[in-house]
Structure 1
Amino acid sequence: MLTDKRSFIEMDAELQSRNVIEFPGYEEKLSAAKEKSRENEGVICGTATIWGRKTGIFSMDANFMMGSMGAVVGEKITRLFEYATENKLPVIGITVSGGARMQEGMISLMQMSKVSAAVKRHSNAGNLYIVLLTNPTTGGVDASFAMQADITLAEPGARVGFAGPRIVEKITNQPLPKGFQKAESVLECGFIDEIVPREVQMDYLGKLLELHGEKDGCL
């Protein structure tokens, strides 16, 4: 839907998670997630063209343990940013996640800083990063690379935030305002640049790449 026909080339598709900390039942959850999503992990990374302009692109998959971020998700996205930095490519990220993958403990949380560092190096090299927030983008993903883009877009009605509304309401002991953590209210607070419906996203991204880059994808 977002890229030129037959232009996507996947990277690191073979990487798969292991139960490093021997969390009970993790192997079974991974097996079920692979069967449901038909993918090896919770993010797909690669390169593609949009309107003829080459870009790095990653898309998180809600069918794989709700797009949770474990070591392999962090590694794949980091590798993509490193490749894009080396080849002077913009990166487009489509996020959906419940946050860090608890079955990997501290290893999962470490991915926040690892990916963030790769994003920073990509930025320091003068490259463009666009993120498209989908429903929901929460937890450690929201607290790191999902909110570090040069241009932040969101789908209508997407939930965007760190802790869920029930947790926030319980901790603050205060009723939450209408539309709390919805993309429309986050836009009003200045954390999102624009809300873009799915049917026009490819053209919107194509225009952004056209404005910020050359025909070969270099900035």
Structure 2
Amino acid sequence: MNEYLFHKINEFVKERELISPGDNLLVALSGGADSVFLLNYLLELSKKNDINFTAFHVNHNLRGEESDKDELFCKELCDDWGVDFVSVSVDVKAYAKSNSLSLEESARELRYSKLEEYAAQHNFNKIVTAHNLGDNTETVLLNLFKGKGISAIAGIPVRRGKIIRPLLGISKDEIVKELTRLNIPFRTDSSNFDNTFQRNYVRNNILPLIKENINPNVEESIGRSSEIYSNSIG
């Protein structure tokens, strides 16, 4: 990982006291660019810091063979990198039907439920997810569109209970460019291009227009606003 990017993430982590010596981290690994980059960062960090971590993959069983290939990719990546790996399988469609939820909401609820359950059972003191600046921007816009008031600006919290998000200070572009430079593979979820999902519609249609016509650095601007608001309410 290039020194500038590693330092940028480290400063974000240190300023917010997200990771400490002796931490036992459970890392959410989907196989996508963000989570693969996160795992690579933690590998680099662990060379000079006393931290332990395990990768945790949730197979949502929503995309048939593609979902199984994601799981296999994650396992093989962890084998190559010498990282402990755990995977679980969930039935998102059945959960969505029984709880009257969308597939998107159901996948999220099941994913966090399994992460928190495993962390509690195996003494992981923190859960690490790979949300980035773009994810925060999408969340803020969706919350505003849904009329959630001033609190919508808070976006995705850097820390919530056991969950920490050390990549909220960097963009998807930075992540993909670095993985490409390092020749590190990652999986692309075909459902990310399905604009019937609200988040995908914001990412693929609304944000490009904002960047082109209003503010090319909208993600950084909204990220600053989120942090200012969160700090103002303690």
TM over 0.5: no
TM-score class, shorter-chain normalisation, is 0.3 to 0.5
TM-score by length of 2: 0.31
TM-score by length of 1: 0.33
Greater share of strand residues, 1 or 2? 1
Greater share of helix residues, 1 or 2? 2
Bigger relative contact order (CA 8 A; separation at least 6): 2
